[in-house]
Amino acid sequence: MLLTKLTCRLCFQRVSRNKNCFCSKVPKTPIWEEVDHTRIPNVPQIDQEMINHLERVSLVEFNNQAGIERLSKAIESANKLHMVNTDGIEPMESVLEDRMLYLREDKVTDGKCKQEVLSNAVKTIEDYFVAPPGNIPLKTKERDYGSNSNGS
Amino acid sequence: MLSLTLKEAVHKLRDGSITAKDLCEKCIERLNKTQQLNAFITETVDVSRDSAAETDKRRRKSKPMRWRKLEGLPIAVKDNFCTTGIRTSCATTMLQNYIPPYTATVVQRLQDEGAYLIGKTNMDEFAMGSGSVDGIHGPVRNPWKYKFTSSNLENQQTKPIEQVSMRNYHTSTDDWHIAGGSSGGSAAAVASGVCFGALGSDTGGSTRNPAAYCGVVGFKPTYGMLSRHGLVPLVNSMDVPALFSKTVDDASILFNVMAGHDVHDSTTVTDEFNHFTLPDNMNIKDLHIGIPKEYHAPGLSKDVHNAWEEAADMFEKAGAKVTQVSLPHTQYSILCYIVLNCCEVASNMARYDGIEFGHRAANEDSTEELYAATRHEGFNDVVRGRILAGNYFLLRQNYEKYFAKAMQVRRLISEDFKKVYASGVDILLTPTTLTTAPTYKWFTERDNRTSSEEQDIFTQPVNMAGVPAISVPSKLSTDGLPIGLQFIGQNFKDKELLTIAKWYEQQVQFKQLNLDYLDNVS
Amino acid sequence: MAASMQKISSHICQLCKRRYLTFSYKRSSSNSKSKPWKSVVGLEIHAQINTESKLFSGAENKFGGPTNTQVSLFDAAFPGTLPVLNKGCVEAGVLTALALRCTVNKVSKFDRKHYFYADLPAGYQITQQRQPLAVKGHVDYCISDKNSFETKTANITQIQLEQDSGKSLHDEKDRISLIDLNRCGTGLMEIVTEPDFSDGTDASAFVKELQKILQTIQTCDCKMEEGSLRVDANISVHKSGEPLGIRTEVKNLNSIKSVSKAISFENETRSFDNEIDETVPMRDKEVKTDYRFMPEPNLPPLHLFDSESVKTVSSKMSVINIDDIQQKLPPLPEDTRKRLEQQYSLKRRDVAVLVDNSGLVDYFEDVMRLSPTTSAKLVSNFIINQLLGVLNDRKLTIYKCPVKTEDFGKLIDLLHTEEISYSTSCKVLDEMFEHPNIAPEDIVDQKDWRQISDTQVLTNICEKVLEEHPKLISKYRKGKLKYLHTLVNKAVIDSNNKANPRILKQIMEDLLDNK
Tell me which chain A residue has its CA closest to the CA of residue B330: A32
Q: What is the structure's pLDDT at C37?
A: 67
Q: What is the structure's pLDDT at C33?
A: 53
Q: Which residue has the higher pLDDT, C105 or B297?
A: C105
Q: What is the structure's pLDDT at C150?
A: 87
CA torsion sign for B453, B456, B458, B464 is negative
Tell me which chain C residue has its CA closest to the CA of residue B236: C297
Q: What is the structure's pLDDT at A134?
A: 75
Is the pLDDT reported for residue B173 higher than 60?
no
Q: What is the structure's pLDDT at B306?
A: 94
Measured CA to CA in angstroms, residue C200 lies from C249, C264, C267 at distances of: 14, 5, 9
B3 given a catalytic annotation: no
Q: What is the structure's pLDDT at C194?
A: 94
* Total residues belonging to chain A: 152
- Which DSSP state fits C457? H
User: Average model confidence (pLDDT) for chain C?
Assistant: 86
Lowest-confidence segment of C175-189, C435-449, C488-502 by average pLDDT: C488-502
Q: What is the structure's pLDDT at A150?
A: 40
A72-117 pLDDT, tens digit per residue, is 999 999 999 998 999 999 999 999 988 888 999 999 999 999 999 9
C256-304 pLDDT, tens digit per residue, is 888 888 888 877 766 555 555 433 343 333 346 899 999 999 999 999 9
CA torsion sign for C296, C299, C301, C304 is negative
Distance from the Cα of A7 to chain C's closest Cα (Å) equals 52
Q: What is the structure's pLDDT at B96?
A: 93
Residue B293 touches partner A, C-beta closer than 8 Å = yes
Give CB contacts under 8 A, 24+ apart, made by A83-86.
A83/A33, A83/A35, A83/A36, A83/A39, A83/A40, A83/B332, A84/B329, A84/B332, A84/B408, A84/B409, A84/B412, A86/B405, A86/B408, A86/B409, A86/B412
User: Mapping DSSP to helix (H, G, I), strand (E, B) and coil, where does residue B241 land?
Assistant: strand
Tell me which chain C residue has its CA closest to the CA of residue B228: C80
pLDDT tier at C97 (50, 70, 90 boundaries)? very high
- Chain A CB contacts of C12 under 8 Å are none
- The phi and psi torsions of B202 (rounded to 5 degrees) equal -135, 110
Lowest-confidence segment of A18-32, B110-124, B411-425 by average pLDDT: A18-32
Asked whether the beta carbons of B178 and B135 are under 8 A apart, the reply is no
pLDDT tier at C199 (50, 70, 90 boundaries)? confident
Tell me which chain C residue has its CA closest to the CA of residue B404: C294
Asked whether the beta carbons of B464 and B474 are under 8 A apart, the reply is no
Q: What is the structure's pLDDT at C35?
A: 64
Q: What is the structure's pLDDT at C299?
A: 95
Q: What is the structure's pLDDT at A21?
A: 53
Residue B408 touches partner C, C-beta closer than 8 Å = no
CB–CB contact C116 A59 (8 Å)? yes
| Cα A118 from Cα A137, distance rounded (Å) | 28
Is the pLDDT reported for residue C24 higher than 60?
no
Name the residue facing C298 among B95, B236, B356 (closest C-beta): B236
Q: What is the structure's pLDDT at C448?
A: 86
CB–CB contact B229 C118 (8 Å)? no
Work out the angle at residue C395's Cα, subtended by the Cα atoms of residues C394 and C399, and round it to the nearest 5 degrees: 105
User: Mapping DSSP to helix (H, G, I), strand (E, B) and coil, where does residue B368 land?
Assistant: helix
Q: What is the structure's pLDDT at C439?
A: 92
Radius of gyration of chain B (CA): 22
Q: What is the structure's pLDDT at A10?
A: 56
Q: Please classify residue B107 by burial: count the beta carbons closer than 10 Å to its beta carbon, then call 0-12 exposed, 13-18 middle and 19+ buried.
A: buried
Q: What is the structure's pLDDT at A8?
A: 60
Instruction: Give the A window 42-71 contacts with C, CB below 8 Å.
Output: 53, 57, 59
Asked whether the beta carbons of C512 and C466 are under 8 A apart, the reply is yes
Is the pLDDT reported for residue B5 higher than 70?
yes
Is the pLDDT reported for residue C200 higher than 50?
yes
For B357-371, what is the mean pLDDT?
90
CA torsion sign for A48, A49, A51, A56 is positive
Q: With pLDDT > 70 as the criterion, what percentage of chain B qualifies?
A: 93
Q: What is the structure's pLDDT at B160?
A: 38
Q: What is the structure's pLDDT at C392?
A: 92
Per the residue annotation, which of B48, B51, B69, B78 is the catalytic one?
B78
Is the pLDDT reported for residue C101 higher than 90?
yes
| Cα B358 from Cα B89, distance rounded (Å) | 9
B206 given a catalytic annotation: yes
Asked whether the beta carbons of C117 and C18 are under 8 A apart, the reply is no
Which contiguous run of DSSP H or E holds residue B25? helix B20-33
Q: Which residue has the higher pLDDT, C170 or B75?
A: B75
Per the residue annotation, which of B48, B130, B206, B471 is the catalytic one?
B206
What is the value of pTM for the model shown? 0.87
Q: What is the structure's pLDDT at C282?
A: 39
Starting at the edge strand found earlier in the chain, the sheet holding C187-193 runs C103-104, C134-144, C149-163, C187-193, C37-48, C229-239, C247-253
For B465-485, what is the mean pLDDT?
96
Q: What is the structure's pLDDT at B178?
A: 94
Residue A151 touches partner B, C-beta closer than 8 Å = no
Closest CA to C280 of C44, C43, C32: C32
Residue C227 touches partner A, C-beta closer than 8 Å = no
Which contiguous run of DSSP H or E holds residue C125? strand C124-127
Residue B445, C-beta contacts closer than 8 angstroms, at least 6 positions apart: none
For A2-22, what is the mean pLDDT?
56
For C494-515, what is the mean pLDDT?
84
A35-61 pLDDT, tens digit per residue, is 777 777 888 888 888 998 999 999 998
Is the pLDDT reported for residue A148 higher than 60?
no
| Cα A94 from Cα C302, distance rounded (Å) | 13
Q: What is the structure's pLDDT at A135?
A: 67
| Cα B76 from Cα B40, distance rounded (Å) | 9
Instruction: Give the C window 11-50 contacts with A, CB below 8 Å.
Output: 19
B188-228 pLDDT, tens digit per residue, is 999 999 999 999 999 999 999 999 999 999 999 999 999 99
Measured CA to CA in angstroms, residue B519 lies from B1, B26, B81, B141 at distances of: 11, 9, 31, 19
B96-150 pLDDT, tens digit per residue, is 999 999 999 999 999 999 999 999 999 999 999 888 888 899 999 999 999 887 6
CB–CB contact C118 A117 (8 Å)? no
Residue A74, C-beta contacts closer than 8 angstroms, at least 6 positions apart: B338, B342, B385, B389, B392, B449
pLDDT tier at C110 (50, 70, 90 boundaries)? very high
Q: With pLDDT > 90 as the criterion, what percentage of chain C qualifies?
A: 54
For C476-480, what is the mean pLDDT?
79
**Which residue type, as a one-letter code, is found at position A52?**
N
Is the pLDDT reported for residue C2 higher than 60?
no
- Residue C379: CB atoms within 10 A of its CB come to 27
Residue B344 touches partner C, C-beta closer than 8 Å = yes
Is the pLDDT reported for residue B295 higher than 80?
yes
Residue C201, C-beta contacts closer than 8 angstroms, at least 6 positions apart: C143, C145, C260, C264
